[in-house]
Structure 1
Amino acid sequence: MKVNLATETKNILKKYGLHLNKRLGQHYLIDDSKRQKILSYADLKDDDVILEIGPGIGTLTIPIASRVEKVIAIEKDKKVATILKERLKDYNNVELIIGDALKIDFPYFNKIVSNLPYKISSPITFKLLEYDFKFGILMYQREFAERMIAKPGTRDYSRLSVALYFMANIEILDYIPRSAFLPPPKVDSTLIRLTPREKINGTFERTCRALFQHKKKKARNALIESFHEISKEADPREIVDLIDPGLLEKRVFTLTPEEILKISNELKKIIQCH
């Protein structure tokens, strides 16, 4: 008789005496229908090389490994990695890397499928987008996913929303309740498809950072107050006064991504001429 995913997960945790740490974001998926949806959206092919960050005990790793050329699984918790290694003993196409995904270079991959540790959602997303890959099927905290696609003028609109507007196409695929995890987190989750677009330049990134440190202020004041994020050498007021004043009178959270890009491009030209 086939054991369901929730029972299988509890049995593995009991067998190895593993206590999950909520502080480290260790919440394991126990809803098999949601797991099947993730695998379906991943559109797994024989020649795929899949990157998985935070594989845990292999809830996704094992079914993925049976369908693709290779899985690269990066697990930070050494005890969990030991359990995963034992569960993978019949699979010779999984490269298990024990380490911090934020600190290591990723080997080649063409897709990523991950229930990401929520604590590193933002930095790991930007790191992933430094690489070339087809798409990712990724699980995020629902609140974070809503910030990823937030529109100008809304409460959730942020530097993240602006940067990702240019860097990736983001499609919400499914909402996953907290009851689908063990232990249940305090928030619901969202499954998204992340498809890379283009790399953004450093000035744009720094301009976003400077502006959104003061998102309710007028853009002019926000830039002057946090100009050190853009340049430590140029005089803030002297530079900012050369930018289209019509843009700078707007409050930061009402600026569209295109307007922020325009401000960034003007800043880049002005600074280069100084």
Structure 2
Amino acid sequence: MTESELPPLREVINSFELRAKKSFGQNFLLDLNLTRRIARIPGDLSKAVVYEVGPGPGGLTRALLMEGAGRVQACEMDKRCIPALAEVSKAFDGRLSVYEGDALKIDEHELLQAKPDEGIHIVSNLPYNVGTMLLIRWLTLKTWTPWWQSLTLMFQKEVAERIVAAPGTKEYGRLSILAQWRSTAKIAMRVPAAAFTPPPKVNSAIIHLKPTQPLDDSIQLKSLELVVEKAFQQRRKMLRSSLKGLSVDPKELLKMAEIEETERAENVSVADFVKLAKCYEQLKTH
């Protein structure tokens, strides 16, 4: 079977009985024009390994290969989809490899095995039930610059808005800070619920992230995560109260970071949270 002989995705779903399952967080994209637009967001992928989580029947997978991705490594835990993806691999001369398993449990470095001249880009219509967990995993790597060069990911609209949110907005929180501390994040495309089969109850959006130098690479990730967690546990409280859960005097910490005691977490910039984490580390060692 060649690329031109691949059947339409609706036929694939019917012939392999691939009705979307809630237990897998599945919502399939069948519009090839739409998936090809998504595949173009990261730019030239001809010398790249593209990692896709949850390809399902292969709608986005086909688009990535048609748009010239060097090779695609997919991870799929739904056994029903494997034969359909095997046909895609055959049609595109083996440029698609499929690993059957749980994306949360694999060693991605071992799976992807990129050559020195290949960049790694993650492009995925993430299953709703694991999307945020995977994003946090990719954002909280111990070493930075990361092994990936860009993330192009589908999320529910409200999650996407939290990732790109600015201080002073109700969406701003832990996810915003983890994403923006050492990467740039933008909404690259909005996708209505009607574009999916079956349509979810909410709209979606594509987030595009590229790694940058951290605002301060001397701080420990766990310190930033702890300070942010405590600050947002009770986001409407003043920081002098919400930071009491730390092992240092919150008033001394805020004075050292030059942040008002009466400030609230949702109004503190990413740069100031980084400063808070650095001051926390300094106070903790005294």
- Judge same fold: TM > 0.5, yes or no: yes
**What CA distance in whole angstroms lies between the structure 1 residues aligned with 2:155 and 2:100?**
22
Q: Secondary structure at the match of 1:249?
A: coil
Spell out the pairing of 1:58-137 with structure 2 (5 A cutoff).
58-65=58-65, 67-90=68-91, 91-106=93-108, 107=112, 108=114, 110-129=120-139, 130=141, 131-137=146-152
Map of 1:171 onto structure 2: 186
Which structure 2 residue ranges, 5 or more long, are not aligned?
none
* Alpha carbons 1:44, 1:64 under 8 Å: kept: no
* Alpha carbons 2:164, 2:187 under 8 Å: kept: no
**What CA distance in whole angstroms lies between the structure 2 residues aligned with 1:102 and 1:272?**
34
Alignment RMSD: 2.3
* Alpha carbons 1:62, 1:88 under 8 Å: kept: no
Map of 1:207 onto structure 2: 227
**What CA distance in whole angstroms lies between the structure 2 residues aligned with 1:141 and 1:159?**
17
**What CA distance in whole angstroms lies between the structure 2 residues aligned with 1:10 and 1:24?**
19
Map of 2:168 onto structure 1: 153
**Bigger shift: 263-272 or 162-171?**
162-171
Cα displacement (A) at 1:179:
0.8
TM-score normalised by structure 1 residue count = 0.86
1:193 partner letter: H
Cα displacement (A) at 1:30:
1.9
Q: Secondary structure at the match of 1:262?
A: helix
Spell out the pairing of 1:177-256 with structure 2 (5 A cutoff).
177-198=192-213, 201-224=221-244, 226-227=245-246, 236=247, 238-245=248-255, 246-256=259-269
Cα deviation 1:234-270 (Å, max 9, x = unaligned)? xx3x532421344332112221212211211111001
**What CA distance in whole angstroms lies between the structure 2 residues aligned with 1:56 and 1:222?**
43
Cα displacement (A) at 1:23:
4.2
Change (3 A) 1:150 1:13: same
Cα displacement (A) at 1:37:
0.9
TM-score normalised by structure 2 residue count = 0.83
Q: Secondary structure at the match of 1:72?
A: strand
Cα deviation 1:182-213 (Å, max 9, x = unaligned)? 00011111122211124562211221112111
1:29 partner letter: L
* Alpha carbons 2:52, 2:72 under 8 Å: kept: yes
Change (3 A) 1:81 1:211: farther
Equivalent of residue 272 in structure 2, options 255, 259, 273? 259
Moved over 6 A (4+): none
**What CA distance in whole angstroms lies between the structure 2 residues aligned with 1:240 and 1:179?**
48
Cα deviation 1:38-68 (Å, max 9, x = unaligned)? 1222323432111111111111223423523
**What CA distance in whole angstroms lies between the structure 2 residues aligned with 1:161 and 1:46?**
31
Cα displacement (A) at 1:74:
0.7
Q: Does 1:162 align with 2:182?
A: no
What is the aligned length?
A: 260
Change (3 A) 1:13 1:152: same
Q: Secondary structure at the match of 1:210?
A: helix
Q: Does 1:51 align with 2:39?
A: no
2:18 partner letter: L
1:121 partner letter: G
Q: Secondary structure at the match of 1:250?
A: coil
